[in-house]
Amino acid sequence: MRHIIFSFCILLLSWQAHAHGPTPQKAKESLTIQAPIAKVWAELKNFDDIANWHTDLKKSAGDGKNQSGGVRTLTFQNDEVITEELDYYNEAEHEYSYRLKAENTKAVPTSSHTVDVKVVVGETPDSSVVTVKSRFYRGDTGNTPPENLNDEAAVKAMTQFFKNGLNGLKAKLEK
């Protein structure tokens, strides 16, 4: 009997080890821009206008609402599209947060993501620091995702998207 109970426990533990879903992943990037906060915020604050400075995007369009519930659609250079929605917007604090509303793992290999954007004064009044951070789940939430939709692919894609966006914003504002 002991042998049966032991075998059952081993089987149960083995099953539990393989029966977990995805864990939340994170990405965070910050960049100093040699421009006053008012100038940086003026470029960042319009949620719909991200394609004006983000090099990964062909176009962006939205409903013009810089408030909770505002929606935008992003078209990537490869013509894939995602939709995002503002959850929080604070003009005075130079920050907002948004989430993925309609996923497209060919555009971004995440099944969901939330992103926080914040601008603060840099080391001098003529510089600003923009920080973008995100929490997300990989594109395939099954137990054995393909390489292009696993945790590593999601972290790499989100990190690169943030870097490309921040570098595009810096290039536009520092010319």
**97, 114 Cβ separation under 8 angstroms:** yes
Confidence tier at 22 by pLDDT (50, 70, 90) = confident
- Report the C-alpha gap between 30 and 28 in whole angstroms: 7
What is the CATH superfamily name and number for domain 24-173? START domain (3.30.530.20)
Q: Phi and psi dihedrals of 90, rounded to 5?
A: -135, 100
pLDDT at 1: 58
- Report the C-alpha gap between 55 and 38 in whole angstroms: 22
Which positions ≥6 away from 103 have C-beta within 8 Å? Answer: 82, 110, 111, 112, 139
**96, 89 Cβ separation under 8 angstroms:** yes
User: Which residue type is seen at 102?
Assistant: A
pLDDT at 149: 96
- Report the C-alpha gap between 154 and 131 in whole angstroms: 19
**Annotated domain spans of the chain:** 24-173
Q: What is the pLDDT of residues 61-110, one digit of tens each?
A: 999 999 999 999 999 999 999 999 999 999 999 999 999 998 899 999 99
Whether pTM > 0.95 for this model: the answer is no
